[in-house]
Amino acid sequence: MRAVSTVASGLRHSAVAVAEALIVAAIIAGLLLALSPVYKPADYLAGTKAAEAGRGQAWLSLSDDLRIAAVSSGSQYTIIGGGFDPSTPVSINLGEPGCCRFFNVYPTADGTIGFTATAAGPGTYEVRAYQQLRGRKPTLMATLTFEVGG
């Protein structure tokens, strides 16, 4: 009888441990999403870009307001994109003069992405967006190159 009680007690402890692990995982996932530099770029998507996003052809662009005004050193710029698989994070490789940054953004249900960054200095900037599709190695989905003035 004691052996059955010990087994039942062990199962209760295992179930509690699994529940605690799930709670911790949910908290970590929530924190990662909250700290991610992601926003919903729907306000920037219009016309042909929205149509391209629906076709599954991935693209990246400076937001409309920044294509009109030059991006300068120290100013913020916004990159938008579409046509990405909504179920897979997009890995961003942001090449800046002197260095680079790597981070993930998460597409909306319609496959759009966006993030805002600050120009580190004058020079050529290159944004590369990758997705790991169907369990394979990361695939280059879209690129964008632009110049930042002094």
pLDDT in tens, 15-72: 666 556 546 544 544 434 444 444 334 434 433 344 344 445 899 999 866 655 667 8
- Please give the pLDDT value at position 52: 41
d(CA 7, CA 56): 53
- Please give the pLDDT value at position 18: 57
pLDDT top residue among 31 and 133: 133
Which H helix or E strand runs over 35?
helix 2-35
Torsion of Cα atoms, 84 then 49 then 116 then 29, to 10°:
-30
- Please give the pLDDT value at position 43: 39
Architecture of domain 38-148: Sandwich (2.60)
- Please give the pLDDT value at position 53: 41
pLDDT in tens, 80-107: 999 999 999 999 999 998 889 999 999 9
How many other CB atoms sit within 10 Å of the CB of residue 127? 22
Spell out the domain ranges in the chain: 1-35, 38-148
Torsion of Cα atoms, 109 then 114 then 115 then 119, to 10°:
170
Kindly report the pTM of this predicted structure.
Answer: 0.61
Instruction: State the pLDDT confidence band at 138, using cuts at 50, 70 and 90.
Output: very high
129-141 average pLDDT score? 91
- Please give the pLDDT value at position 144: 95
